[in-house]
Structure formats: C-alpha cells, structure tokens
Structure 1
Amino acid sequence: MSALIETADHGDIREIRLARAPVNALDTDLCRALIEALNAALDHGVRGIVLAGNPKIFSAGMDVPYLMSLGDDRKALLDAWQAFFGAARTLAESRVPVVAAITGHAPAGGCVLALCCDYRVMARSADPARPFALGLNETQVGLVVPEGIQRLMRRVVGTYRAERLLVAGEMVAAERAFEIGLVDELADQHNVVARAVVWLQHLLGLPHQPMLQTRALARRDLVEALDPSLIQLERFVDAWHAPDTQAGLRALVDKLKK
C-alpha cells in the first residue's frame, strides 16, 4: 500500500485513511493511491469502507500550489484533474457502502469525496468558536463548479439551498451542516471513525443482496452526476487559465504560505 494511504480493518470493514501530510491536499499521486486502495479493498472482499483523514482535517481539497506549479503543462494539469475525478467516481461506483469519517475541515475536493460516500459522520470541534467546516468553496478562488459536482450537492441539501451555497462558495460549519443534511451525524473527534463503523455494521446486518441492490438503484443519480459529459474536463481546464481564476488561485497560494 502507498505511504500516502493507511489502512486498518475492523472485521469486514476497512478503514482507508488519507495520509499525505500535512493536510491531505489532493495531488495526482494521492488520488491514484486512493483509487488503488479502494480497488484493493474490494478485491480483498470487504463489505464496507470508511474513508477518513487526519485529525482536524479530512482533506484540504486539491493541491493548488502543486497545480499552479504545472504552469502551462496542459497534459499534466489534465492528468491531475482526471486522477481526482477518477477517485470521486471510484467512491461513487463502489459496490459496497462507504462512510466518510470527516475528522475535520473538508473544503472543495475534500467535500466532493465526502459527497460521493453513502453517509457522512463529521467531527465536532473541541472549540465551539472555531468549528470544523465543509463545503464547495470553489467560487471563492475563481473556479467554476461543474454541473456534475453541483448535482452532488443538490441531492443532499436540495436545489435552492445548493444554489445559495455553491454560488457563494460557502463553507458550512459542522452544526449547520448537520441541520441542513449536508452531513448525517456529528461525533466527538476521537469517535468519528468508530461511529462510521457502527453505522456500517448496522447496514451490513440487513439482508445483504436486497440492501445492495436497493442501494445501487438509489445511488444511480450520483454515479450519473460524475459522467464525463457533466464534468466537461477540457472546458474546466481551459477556464483554469482565465485571468480572474489565476488571480484567485495566486491569492490562495499566497495565503497558504503565511
């Protein structure tokens, strides 16, 4: 297994933990390692998967400094985004249930991965004044949210609320995320993975094939949302070099350096 991924088995449930220090920023290698880990789990016959991150952060989303370092290398930029959307599709298409154990903040790409899971358990912050948050904040850094990704948000919070969150690029604090259905459960940080395992154990106690077949039907719209025709990756990469997008991304990189 890649050094970017850690795994632990809880009976027939496998925990897959993103482990790219310091904040699980999603570069090409991490996305490919996640795909490999998900496929390996299925090959090993697991019946459920927990996707977890670091304490205080699930994933910071795409590694923008890495992407900016690619400059005008369109092939490498396409490769990086293809790896990310490939990881999202692998989660969405998993033939076994997957729970996102959101151990901290989950902006942008981190939120996308969580939305591709069956169920989301999010950590409460020990400091109520500094809650953990998740959301699709792409517009804040100058990126367009593709139609397919917008559909992921709509299916969990509804059309109008998704519009408000997406257009503003809003990050949603954990307590409010629970209230609006963006996450399904809150837990103390040390207990997030355990709660994810408990939910899976309950689900796996149901008659197995009827549950899986019903699940596949219920998640068909999620899988369809990640069809390449709704992501339009070529157009997305074309827009990457727009002046206002580049300005927003450079501002983010400068902020991350501080």
Structure 2
Amino acid sequence: MSLIDTTVHGQVHELRLARAPVNALNPELCAELAHAVRDAAAHGARGIVLAGGPKVFSAGLDVPHLLSLGEDQAALMQAWEAFFHAARALAASPVPVVAAMAGHAPAGGCVLALCCDYRIMADGPYRIGLNETQVGLVAPEGIQALLARVVGPHRAERLLVAGAMPDAAEALRIGLVDELTHIDEVAVRARVWQEELLQLPHMPMLETRAIARREVVAALEPDRIDLPRFVAQWSHPDTQAALRAMLARIGK
C-alpha cells in the first residue's frame, strides 16, 4: 500500500501523505515522498501540492520508531538520512511546491513546509513550528536558517529557543505561513495558487525562482545539518527523558 496518494489535476500534481493517523515520518514514508516529488516533475508536473491529513498535516518524525532503534547509531543515521533526503527533494524540486496544511505541522512537518515555495494553512486552532527544544532536540543550523529565512533572524531565535508553536493566525502574522483558508479549501487554494503562477511566462518564472531559492537548497547541505552530531545528541539523557515524557503525554 502506497504511503503517498497522487492525484493529477492537469499540470498540477497533488501528493498527499497517507500514513494514518498523523503522517508520522518514518523512513518508508520519507523515501516515497522523495521519489514522488521527483517522479511528478519527470512526468510533466509544472507544479506540486504537498498535502497531509485532516487536522494533522504531519506530526513530524516517527518518534516511537526512532526510540525502538535504541543505541543502533547506524539505524538512527539511516532514519534521519531518509528524512533529510525527502526535505532536499522538496527544496530542490525543479517546479514550485505548495504545502497544503489542513492541520498541525510540528517539527518535521514544519521542516517539510519550510522546504516548499508557499504555505497555506487551515484557519483555526492549528499550530506550526519547530518545537525541538520542547522534546529535547537541537534543530540543526541549516533548519534554523530555513525558519529565519521566512520570519527573520530575531523572531526565529525566539521561536527556536522556546520551541514555540504559533497558532494559524499568529503564523500568518509573522510570515511563517502565507495564507489561511477554511480547512476544506486548503488543497483547492493550493492548486489555485499554482495555476495562477503557471500563467506567467514559464522560463523566466522558473529561473527567477531558482535564484531566489538557492539559500533553501544550501541550508540543507550536509555540513549545515551535521547529521553525525545530531544523531550523537539523540542519546543524551536530557533528550531521551524529554522524548519519553512526550510519548507518555500522548499515551494519556
């Protein structure tokens, strides 16, 4: 069973994360997402909509899976590499990508959205952000740069250090998302945005976009993620305690 549902709307391909209940990003889902992004462009898509589930776009990395790996550093590296592989596929997509978020987008879900060209979120009590410090993690420098690119360095610092998760209205106000709409209209609005962009002369639009997004691609370069250091920090007692406390809260 595929973990990505693909729907073709003319020149716009909609890729929907389909790993119920909250689209937790395990290696299989990440691998399928990276493949689907490249496959869409290879099969004529001139725009991509990345959608998730109702009320939760993606809850981020599959923490229970990661904790189940214990101290297996090689397996942990492989799992995190799969996630960043998907993020890089979005960032380097040769065609525009819109994140259609009909719900929450914490941590890894927010990273995927930051790799897209445009972010549309459901209007309501939904939250988005890099809450890594809340769960005992340190967002790599490149991920921090992605947030600073859209909200500015000072605001990014405040959000990152606190692990804050602004609600939809605040996310719009600070520029973390570009547009709010009714939860049932998120994917439709994403397609409309793409179709309007596709009315522009194609080559100039794509070349301008490529120049403007160089820093998005650069932020995800391996030396700015420093995955060995990130994975080594995974075993820190503070990190493990915070992650297990989060799972206990969710379990209740």
Structure 2: give runs of 5+ residues left out of the alignment. none
Matches within 5 A, 1:82-121: 82-121=81-120
Q: Does 1:79 align with 2:73?
A: no
Counterpart residue identity of residue 231, structure 1: I
Q: Does 1:257 align with 2:251?
A: yes
Q: Which residue of 1 aligns with 2:225?
A: 231
Name the CA distance, whole Å, in 2 between partners of 1:255 and 1:25: 17
Residue aligned with 1:42, SS: helix
Aligned positions of 1:142-181 closer than 5 A? 142-181=136-175
**What is the one-letter code of the residue matched to 1:45?**
G
Q: What residue number does 2:9 align with?
A: 10
Q: Which amino acid aligns with 2:9?
A: H
Per-residue CA deviations over 1:44-98 (Å, capped at 9, x if unaligned) read 1110000000010100000101100000111111000000001000000000000
Letter of the 2:184 counterpart: H
1:174-203 deviation per Cα after TM superposition (whole angstroms, max 9, x unaligned): 001001100000000000001000111111
**Cross-structure match for 1:30:** 29
Residue 246 (str. 1) matches residue 240 (str. 2): yes
Correspondences of 1:174-189 after superposition (within 5 Å): 174-189=168-183
Q: Provide the rounded CA distance (Å) in 1 between the counterparts of 2:173 and 2:52.
A: 23
Q: CA separation in 2, counterparts of 1:253 and 1:76?
A: 21
**Equivalent residue number for residue 214 of structure 1:** 208
Task: Give the count of matched residue pairs.
Answer: 252
3-state SS of the aligned residue for 1:50? Answer: strand
Q: Which amino acid aligns with 1:103?
A: A
Residue 21 of structure 1: CA displacement?
A: 0.6
Amino acid at match of 1:18: L
Partners of 1:243 and 1:60 in 2: CA distance: 23
Q: Any idea what SS the aligned residue of 1:95 has?
A: coil
Could you tell me which of 181, 184, 190 is aligned with 1:190? 184
Q: Distance in 2 between matches of 1:216 and 1:3?
A: 30
Q: How far apart are the structure 2 equivalents of 1:215 and 1:168?
A: 32
- Offset at 1:256? 2.1
Shift of 1:35: 0.7
Find the residue that maps to 1:23 and give its secondary structure. Answer: coil
Runs of 4+ displaced beyond 3 Å? none
Q: Secondary structure at the match of 1:96?
A: coil
After superposition, the C-alpha distances for 1:102-150 in whole angstroms (9 at most, x for unaligned) are 110000000000000000000012xxxxx10000000001100100000
Quick one: which amino acid aligns to residue 30 of structure 1?
L
Aligned-pair CA distance for 1:162: 0.2
Q: What letter matches 1:188 in structure 2? A: H
The alignment's TM-score, normalised by the length of structure 1, stands at: 0.97
User: CA–CA distance in 2 between the matches of 1:9 and 1:3?
Assistant: 16
Deviation at 1:4, TM superposition (A): 0.7
